[in-house]
């Protein structure tokens, strides 16, 4: 099953290619319920962020649920992210807070969530200075054992080239970006592949409460041919490009379906999905950030 697929990061750590996203999932009871279902279905990567406001609930739920599935801390991969509010000198302290909130000893991956800084004009060069300072402090966080790996999110080619040039001794392990047949950047994929950086997709199924991607004619046609759901086809499309995915769901059925990706989309159909003419970005646009 897809739950066994992993990517070897530069640190040597194995990162699951299929993880469980927790954006917009709130409340102690709901968090516990969905993580119970996710762990039972085989997910071993949990993705969160400070701005999701659920780190505490996730930490508490994992403490309770891991023993239920005979798992320990080392059996799961926990990702969190630096808030734009903490970009710059606050980055190290923010990393400490995420580890504390999740009550998990260390993080497996900590990402700079956004290339811009809260309260800084998007066109200002201060954005690049602040994210460079964040990276410098997160490199120290790796050395101090707060997180095993560090990476970025929503970085475009320009942002990636800058951090590769001035990396303070560690290049990003992961770049988490919006990626689906309606929006994908070939130049970004080429750059990260060359550097051995893993792309991880978010919004794989389209925008929140926006069915355009799931009901896309080409997606639906291929899903019917393969006897799979539209969501499964979209997730598998990324996986076959060696791009990790973090689908979010709350129902048992969807949670289980989203990890059952042990099928192959024929190359002809992969090309059809990659060549869909309709293009639409469903999430925030990092190209506005200097």
Average pLDDT over the chain, rounded to whole?
96
pLDDT at 207: 72
Residue 87 Ramachandran class (φ > 0 left, ψ -120 to 50 alpha, else beta): beta
pLDDT at 72: 98
69 is catalytic: no
Question: β-pairing, 20-21 with 45-47?
Answer: parallel
DSSP state of 108: S
- Determine what percent of the chain falls in helix, strand and coil, rounding each to the nearest 5: 45, 15, 40
The answer as to whether 4 is a domain residue is no
The pair of three-digit structure tokens given for residue 272, joined into one six-digit string:
């059809």
pLDDT, tens digit, 9 for 90 and up, residues 77-111: 999 999 999 999 999 999 999 999 999 999 999 99
Which residue spans within the chain are E strands per DSSP?
Answer: 6-8, 14-16, 20-21, 45-47, 77-82, 109-112, 150-153, 174-178, 198-202, 244-245
pLDDT for residue 210 is more than 90: no
Nearest to residue 15, comparing CAs of 145, 102, 108?
A: 108
| Bridge partners, residue 176, by sequence | 153, 200
pLDDT at 209: 66
pLDDT at 2: 60
How many CB atoms sit inside 10 A of residue 118's CB?
12
Exactly one of 43, 52, 155, 202 is catalytic; name it.
52
Confidence of residue 284 (pLDDT cuts 50, 70, 90): confident
* Entry pTM: 0.97
pLDDT, tens digit, 9 for 90 and up, residues 159-190: 999 999 999 999 999 999 999 999 999 999 99
The answer as to whether 93 is a domain residue is yes
pLDDT at 117: 95
pLDDT at 3: 54
pLDDT, tens digit, 9 for 90 and up, residues 121-139: 999 999 999 999 999 999 9
pLDDT, tens digit, 9 for 90 and up, residues 212-264: 899 999 999 999 999 999 999 999 999 999 999 999 999 999 999 999 999 99
The answer as to whether 77 is a domain residue is yes
Give dist(CA 253, CA 236) in Å, integer: 17
The answer as to whether 230 is a domain residue is yes
The pair of three-digit structure tokens given for residue 215, joined into one six-digit string:
């009901």
Number of domains in the chain: 1
pLDDT at 61: 98
Give dist(CA 78, CA 104) in Å, integer: 8
The answer as to whether 2 is a domain residue is no
Known binding residues: 113
pLDDT at 212: 87
The answer as to whether 287 is a domain residue is no
How many CB atoms sit inside 10 A of residue 90's CB?
18
Known binding residues for substrate: 113
Stronger pLDDT, 210 or 172, i.e. the higher one: 172
pLDDT, tens digit, 9 for 90 and up, residues 14-70: 999 999 999 999 999 999 999 999 999 999 999 999 999 999 999 999 999 999 999
Q: What is the CATH number of the domain that holds 99?
A: 3.20.20.100
160: Cβ contacts below 8 Å, ≥ 6 apart: 152, 172, 175, 188, 191, 192, 197
Nearest to residue 132, comparing CAs of 116, 147, 110?
A: 116
Residue-number span of the structural domain to which 118 is assigned: 12-282
């Amino acid at each position: 099953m897809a739950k066994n697929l992993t990517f070897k990061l530069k640190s040597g750590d194995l990162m699951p290619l299929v993880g469980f996203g927790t954006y917009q999932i709130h409340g102690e009871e709901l968090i516990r319920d969905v993580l119970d279902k996710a762990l039972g279905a085989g997910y071993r990567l949990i993705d969160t962020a400070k701005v999701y406001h659920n780190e505490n609930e996730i930490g508490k739920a994992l403490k309770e649920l891991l023993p239920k599935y005979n798992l320990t801390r080392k059996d799961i991969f926990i990702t969190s992210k630096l808030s734009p509010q903490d970009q710059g000198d606050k980055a190290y302290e923010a990393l400490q807070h995420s580890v504390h909130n999740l009550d998990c000893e260390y993080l497996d991956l900590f990402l700079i969530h956004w290339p811009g800084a809260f309260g800084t004009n998007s066109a200002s060069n201060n954005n690049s200075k602040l994210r460079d300072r964040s990276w410098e402090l997160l490199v120290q966080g790796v050395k101090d054992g707060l997180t095993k790996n560090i990476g970025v999110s929503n970085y475009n080619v320009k942002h990636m080239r800058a951090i590769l040039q001035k990396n303070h001794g560690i290049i990003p392990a992961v770049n988490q970006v919006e990626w689906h047949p309606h929006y994908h950047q070939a130049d970004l994929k080429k750059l990260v592949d060359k550097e051995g950086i893993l792309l991880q997709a978010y919004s794989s199924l389209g925008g929140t409460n926006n069915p355009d991607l799931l009901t896309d004619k080409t997606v639906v046609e291929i899903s019917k041919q393969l006897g799979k759901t539209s969501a499964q086809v979209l997730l598998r499309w990324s996986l076959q490009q060696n791009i990790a995915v973090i689908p979010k769901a709350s129902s048992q059925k969807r949670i289980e379906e989203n990890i059952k990706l042990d099928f192959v989309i024929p190359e002809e159909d992969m090309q059809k999905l990659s060549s869909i003419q309709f293009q639409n970005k469903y999430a925030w646009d990092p190209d506005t950030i200097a």
